[in-house]
Amino acid sequence: MAAAGALGRIVRLGSSLCRKQRFIFTRSPPGRGIASCVDPAHGLTDEQKEFQEVAFNFAANEMAPNMAEWDQKEIFPVETMRKAAQLGFGGIYVQPDVGGTGLSRLDTSVIFEALSTGCVSTTAYISIHNMCAWMIDTFDLCSMEKFASYCLTEPGSGSDAASLLTTAQLKGDHYILNGSKAFISGGGDTDVYVVMCRTGAKGPKGISCLVIEKGTPGLNFGKKEKKVGWNSQPTRAVILEDCAVPVTNRLGAEGQGFNIAMKGLNGGRINIASCSLGAAHACVQLARDHLLVRKQFGETLSNNQYLQFQLAEMATKLVASRLLVREAATALQGNRPDAVSLCSMAKLFATDECFNICNQALQMHGGYGYLKDYAVQQFVRDIRVHQILEGTNEVMRMIISRNLLTES
């Protein structure tokens, strides 16, 4: 676990008594230590605190030391993710009878928030995999023996998802798919593709959901995209050319696909928001630590009232975001009527605020914040995309305003 691992590192560096030491430039795990207003354990049950502890330990030991390398070398950390799956992180809200861990949406949010402090990009992929595992409910996915990708977006349909053009024509006991999907996380490296395609007429009611395995003839991939962040997951276009998929691979009924996709996204939005929370939490810790160490004008930056106030604002917005995300998770778990709106509000608010928090933390680091030797820039780059995917924050506003303005 974290403590013994960290002590092991200290001993290898030559200290004979195993005492904790302060390393100024190495990355001590963000998330440990200060019991303060931003402690993410507040308000949780004892059991949730234990889940969170495991996730923080895993993030600190298995992810944080590697996050810079995974980013720079664009490594898809399969072995680390399988280790995470062994702890139950592969299908957190999937039912145990199909190999999942059977926890609630709130437990899930707490876990992803903690894992994110170790590497946002990898945690975000794990959350996408979880979303797919939930949609398909299979054993192999929960153990991460196989990895999954969610394919909805196309070159011509992003926010206007229901206008997708990939067709699936029924021929005997197979669907023949033609079309292409864009920006698919894990695309090309994952084994299972959950593809939304058109089996019927225009609009959402003509869309169905098919599961396609890698290696199926007609399933091809574009080049690996070069991204600003999320570099530990490959992103590729998925190209379908007369790809034959058995009818038995369809999830739900014909025409139900869009519904399934949207339901998946509600949870996906909470998950992505949770990843943003973790990054912001890590950045608040990093900024705080930096302010206590860096001296200018004869004193530490922590004595500067402007920076004190800014840190306070960052902390306040972090806690506010966290509360909204957790409330949305609870609403989704309980199937409340406000669940969809809350998920949208949570995603909108948390991703925006947390990006600002991370960006502010970078600013507080001064020139050092811009160097890749420091983790803060990776958090900023990694969570920038959270304001765009899983439904742009503009689309989140559409969903919320629709709820407000519809006559009931």
Which span sits near another protein by CB under 8 A: 45-53, 69-77, 116-124, 392-400? 45-53
Cα distances (angstroms) measured from residue 12 to each of 9, 16, 24, 63: 5, 9, 17, 20
CB of 37 to another protein, least distance (A): 11
Kindly tell me which residue out of 14, 46, 297, 306 binds another protein, with binding defined by CB under 8 A: 46
Q: Is 22 in the site for another protein (CB under 8 A)?
A: yes
Whose structure tokens read 């960052």?
A: 314
CA angle (301 as vertex; 298, 303 as ends), nearest 5: 85
**What distance in Å separates the CA atoms of residue 62 and residue 52, rounded to the nearest whole number?**
15
Tokens matching residue 187: 């695309």
Which span sits near another protein by CB under 8 A: 19-27, 161-169, 308-316, 360-368? 19-27
Q: Is 44 in the site for another protein (CB under 8 A)?
A: no
Q: Let me know if 390 is a catalytic residue.
A: yes
Which span sits near another protein by CB under 8 A: 52-60, 164-172, 180-188, 218-226? 52-60
Q: Three-state SS for 232?
A: coil
Touching another protein, residues 381-400 (CB under 8 A): none
Q: Is 293 in the site for another protein (CB under 8 A)?
A: no
Q: Is 214 in the site for another protein (CB under 8 A)?
A: no
Q: Is 5 in the site for another protein (CB under 8 A)?
A: yes
- Residue number, 22 or 223, with CB nearest to another protein: 22
Cα–chain center distance at 86: 19
Determine which one of 113, 154, 353, 390 is catalytic: 390
- Listed residue (322, 337, 345, 325) closest to 397, CA to CA: 345
Tokens matching residue 20: 């904790």
Which span sits near another protein by CB under 8 A: 26-34, 166-174, 269-277, 372-380? 26-34
Q: Three-state SS for 131?
A: helix
Kindly tell me which residue out of 15, 47, 213, 338 binds another protein, with binding defined by CB under 8 A: 47
**What distance in Å separates the CA atoms of residue 305 and residue 323, rounded to the nearest whole number?**
27
**What distance in Å separates the CA atoms of residue 16 and residue 220, rounded to the nearest whole number?**
56
Touching another protein, residues 84-113 (CB under 8 A): 86-89, 92, 96, 101, 103, 111
Q: Is 11 in the site for another protein (CB under 8 A)?
A: yes
15, HSE (Cβ side, Cα atoms, 13 Å): 12
Q: Is 24 in the site for another protein (CB under 8 A)?
A: no
**What distance in Å separates the CA atoms of residue 235 and residue 292, rounded to the nearest whole number?**
39
Q: Any idea which residues carry the catalytic annotation? A: 390
